[in-house]
Amino acid sequence: MNILGSLKVVSLFKDSASVAKKCDTVLKFCIYALLFLVPLFFAPWSLNSPDFAKQAVLVSFVFLALFAWIIKSLVVGSFSIKTNKFNVALLVLLASYLVASLFSVFKYYSFWGLPQVPSDSLLSVICFA
């Protein structure tokens, strides 16, 4: 029995309101950081410096925000996704881009965007969505 592991989880989520508030703070920070850093960030040491660096920043902050949103949903115990015409259209666009990437001749390029333009990749489209 792993009693110590279960005690850590209980002590970590003792006050779910504070954890949810911290996750909201992380979400807001990620959104503001994306708005500020993506237009300005570049790495001169990479081959395709503006595109690859911007994609790396975008993917990092989007997945950090997604992780914070998932933790908040688990702690609070519920989540909601609003269904409207825009979200359905976005989901159809993502599904069509996924099908196009799966049937592409260059699957690696279609998913990651490397060695060509990273902004044309499925990963970037998912992060933008």
Task: Fill in the DSSP letter of residue 15.
Answer: S
pTM of the model: 0.71
Tell me: pLDDT of 47 over 70. Answer: no
pLDDT at 50: 67
How high is the mean pLDDT of the chain? Answer: 78
pLDDT tens readout for residues 83-124 = 899 989 999 999 998 898 888 888 777 777 766 666 677 888
